[in-house]
């Protein structure tokens, strides 16, 4: 089993903590004058996304996590699982609800997503930062009303509910920032 | 600066303006000591012996078998034993695996010795130096004993605590240890100092902490009237440890015993057993006047004087681009 010593710690390194794969977010070397050195490390649990701080004694070692990130194309969902394909090898992989979480709202056929795999299984799915989706439900658009800040709720083809400007209509294609869930612009196809 | 691309990492990690201020600082340090009749010396950077301190790792050369010094302390004490009188040195020292916001594996140390002085007199001279080097007036440096510092800032009495009580205190302080059961009392006290005390000092006035536990004496003399204490001090400015000084241990037999204890600790911790400096021990056996000595991190001092966040910002090329 591969292990890392604290002196090898750096941002982005994937390690196993309490049985969970984690990502080092921040690593600070701490040492009092004439004593033991420590690493104060911020780690993100890759399964539930929680960030915690942990203190390691220098030269403690931890198991490396077999975590890789892979660009894959979203194919479809059967309701239980979401299916992705590696565009180079055509290999398919399925991600369950735990891995997809709330991101299902931004998945559109054929979009390229980043899949995080731990021991070969999908543990998280990151959609593209910007996706273009069709409006399926909203109040009728108010022509010419571009008053700043005025918004209304709308539903998108994936089931996502977001706030859009008043002029947006059903069947409009709109661009959304998936990191914040906010409207960016209307797209003419 | 770590954000620099590979194409850009030929550039210095410090600005040229900072490097001019660095040169000015070195110049003023030399003026300070020259005006006080302290002799500048140089000692070998490559040594046949290495530190036995379990918390330090030396870089080593295979052929010939030499170690880069982690501090010029032992060689400077050999000069003192030879009758040099007061001496100082500005030199690069090397410590493996020490990289971070306040650490670079290769850094500049100012170390000086005062024959006939005690650690208290030396603390006053450290204060005079800091005041002389600071362009803005600094408040007087406060003084707290190690015990007072831990009681005040962490609510811990270092002389009556147990590993259990320290683990509980650290947990209450939100310190989450990877392997809590593997810590010794000494290591937990170090952690209390780093995580609960130093972090409190960030916005406090400059502070000397003195009279460390005898177990943390390093090369300091034990206090004659209080054998559980060592005549050792450290200087903290904005929570950054800047200097470490002692009334020096000059007893050859006790020094040899401490080396043996440290080598034993290194062995138990699975660390290498480097050769100890027998010429230094011979110098102590020959006889050395009582003295006080201190080492001060010049890069960190410059960081504080210029308000820089990272040690890399005051070094021409940090370890990542060396």
Share of chain B above pLDDT 70, in %: 98
Q: Please tell me the distance from the alpha carbon of residue B275 to that of residue A77, in angstroms, as a whole number.
A: 66
Mean pLDDT within A92-115: 93
Q: Is B216 on the interface with A (CB under 8 A)?
A: yes
User: What tens digit of pLDDT does each residue of A54-86 get?
Assistant: 999 988 999 999 999 999 999 999 989 999 999
- Closest partner residue to B241 (CB to CB) among A33, A37, A62 is A33
The DSSP bridge pattern shows strands B226-237 and A14-17 to be unpaired
A86 to chain B, closest Cα gap in Å? 30
Give residues with Cβ within 8 angstroms of A31, minimum separation 6: A37, A38, A58, B55, B98, B103, B194
pTM for the whole thing?
0.83
Check: CB of residue A147 under 8 Å from CB of residue A166: yes
Inter-residue contact B126 to B245 (CB < 8 Å): yes
| pLDDT grade for B2, boundaries at 50, 70 and 90 | very low
The Cα of A71 is separated from the nearest Cα of chain B by a number of Å equal to 24
Strand partners of residue B100? B103
Put simply, whether B175 touches A (Cβ < 8 Å) is yes
pLDDT digits (tens, 9 = 90+) for B148-195: 999 999 999 999 999 999 999 999 999 999 999 999 999 999 999 999
B101 shares contact with chain A (CB less than 8 Å): yes
Please give the pLDDT value at position A144: 62
Report d(CA A97, CA A104) in Å as an integer. Answer: 9
Task: Tell which A residues from 37 to 96 touch B, by Cβ distance under 8 Å.
Answer: 37-38, 40, 52-60, 62
Report in angstroms the alpha-carbon separations of B174 from B19, B167, B199, B203. 39, 11, 13, 20
Please give the full DSSP string across B121-190, using - where no structure is assigned: HHHHHHHHHHHHH-SSPPPPPEEEEHHHHHHHHH---TTT--HHHHHHHHHHTT--BSSGGG--HHHHHH
By Cβ distance, the residue of A38, A56, A60 closest to B194 is A38
pLDDT in tens, A121-151: 999 999 999 999 999 999 887 766 566 678 8
Residue range A25-38: mean pLDDT, rounded: 90
Q: How far is CA B123 from the centre of its chain?
A: 14
Using only C-alpha atoms, chain A has a radius of gyration, in whole angstroms, of 21
Q: CB distance from B218 to chain A under 8 Å?
A: yes
- In this prediction, residue B138 has a pLDDT band, given cuts at 50, 70 and 90, of confident
Integer Cα distance of A142 and A160 in angstroms: 22
Does B258 touch chain A if contact means CB atoms closer than 8 Å? no
Distance of CA B125 to the CA centre of its chain: 17
Helices B73-81 and B278-286, packing angle to 10 deg: 30
- Minimum-distance CB partner of A36 among B190, B234, B241: B190
Contact residues for B99 (Cβ-Cβ < 8 A; gap 6+): A7, A29, B105, B319
* Averaged pLDDT for residues B257-267: 95
Domain boundaries, chain B: 3-139+253-321
Q: Is the pLDDT of residue B1 over 50?
A: no
Averaged over A80-97, what is the pLDDT? 94
Give the closest of A30, A33, A60 to B178, CB-based.
A60
Superfamily in which the B3-139+253-321 domain is placed by CATH: Bira Bifunctional Protein; Domain 2 (3.30.930.10)
pLDDT, tens digit, 9 for 90 and up, residues B187-216: 999 999 999 999 999 999 999 999 999 999
Nearby residues of A167 by Cβ (< 8 Å), 6 or more positions away:
A141, A142, A143, A144, A145, A146, A186
- Average predicted confidence (pLDDT) for chain A: 91
Whether the predicted pLDDT of B134 surpasses 90? yes
The token duo for B321 is 């681009």
Q: State the pLDDT at residue B135.
A: 87
Please name the residues in contact with B214: beta carbons below 8 A apart, sequence gap of 6 or more. Answer: B222, B227, B228, B229, B230
Q: Which is it for the CA torsion B253, B259, B263, B268, positive or negative? A: positive
What is the distance in angstroms between the Cα of A46 and the nearest Cα belonging to chain B?
18
CA distance A60 to B155: 28
Residues linked to residue B290 through DSSP beta bridges, in sequence order: none
Are the beta carbons of B182 and A60 separated by less than 8 Å?
yes
Q: What is the per-residue pLDDT for B3?
A: 52
Mind giving me the DSSP string for A77-103? E-SS-EEEE-TTT--EEEE-HHHHGGG
**Residue B99 at interface with chain A, using a CB cutoff of 8 Å:** yes
Q: What residues of A are in contact with residue B174 (Cβ under 8 Å)?
A: 53
What DSSP designation does A21 have?
E
């Amino acid at each position: 089993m591969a292990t890392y010593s604290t002196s090898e710690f750096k941002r982005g390194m994937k390690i196993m903590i309490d049985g969970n794969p984690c990502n080092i977010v921040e690593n600070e070397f701490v040492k009092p004058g004439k004593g033991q050195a420590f690493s104060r490390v911020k780690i993100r649990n890759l399964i539930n996304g929680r960030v915690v701080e942990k203190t390691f004694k220098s030269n403690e070692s931890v198991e490396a996590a077999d975590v890789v990130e892979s660009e894959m194309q979203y194919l479809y969902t059967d309701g239980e699982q979401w299916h992705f394909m590696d565009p180079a090898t055509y290999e398919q992989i399925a991600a369950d609800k735990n891995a997809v979480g709330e991101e299902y709202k931004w998945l559109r056929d054929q979009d390229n997503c980043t899949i995080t795999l731990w021991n070969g299984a999908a543990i998280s799915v990151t959609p593209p930062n910007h996706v273009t989706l069709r409006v399926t439900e909203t109040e009728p658009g108010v022509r010419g009303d571009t008053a700043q800040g005025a918004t209304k709720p709308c539903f998108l083809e994936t089931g996502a509910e977001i706030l859009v400007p008043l002029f947006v209509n059903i069947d409009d294609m709109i661009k959304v920032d998936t990191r914040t869930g906010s409207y960016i612009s209307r797209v003419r196809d | 600066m770590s954000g620099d691309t590979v194409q850009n990492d030929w550039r210095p990690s410090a600005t040229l303006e900072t490097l001019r201020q660095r040169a000015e600082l070195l110049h003023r340090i030399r003026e300070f000591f020259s005006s006080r009749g302290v002799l500048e010396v140089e000692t070998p950077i490559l040594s046949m012996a290495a530190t036995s301190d379990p918390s330090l790792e030396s870089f080593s050369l295979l052929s010939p078998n030499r170690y880069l010094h982690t501090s010029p302390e032992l060689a400077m004490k050999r000069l003192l034993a030879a009758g040099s009188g007061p001496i100082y040195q500005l030199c690069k020292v090397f410590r493996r695996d020490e990289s971070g916001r306040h650490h670079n594996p290769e850094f500049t140390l100012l170390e000086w010795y005062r024959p006939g002085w005690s650690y208290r007199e030396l603390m006053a001279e450290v204060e005079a130096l800091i005041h002389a080097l600071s362009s803005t007036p600094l408040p007087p440096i406060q003084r707290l004993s190690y015990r007072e510092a831990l009681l005040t800032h962490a609510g811990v009495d270092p002389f009556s605590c147990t590993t259990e009580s320290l683990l509980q205190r650290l947990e209450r302080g939100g310190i989450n240890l990877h392997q809590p059961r593997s810590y010794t009392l000494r290591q937990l006290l170090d952690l209390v100092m780093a995580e609960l005390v130093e972090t409190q000092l960030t916005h406090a006035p400059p502070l000397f902490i003195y009279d460390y536990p005898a177990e943390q004496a390093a090369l300091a003399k034990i206090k004659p009237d209080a054998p559980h204490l060592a005549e050792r001090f450290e200087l903290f400015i904005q929570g950054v440890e800047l200097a470490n000084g002692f009334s020096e241990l000059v007893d050859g037999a006790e020094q040899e015993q401490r080396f043996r204890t440290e080598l034993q600790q290194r062995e138990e911790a699975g660390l290498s057993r480097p050769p100890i400096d027998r010429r230094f021990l011979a110098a102590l056996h020959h006889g050395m006047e009582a003295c006080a000595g201190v080492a001060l991190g010049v890069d960190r001092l410059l960081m504080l004087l210029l308000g820089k966040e990272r040690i890399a910002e005051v070094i021409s090329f940090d370890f990542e681009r060396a």
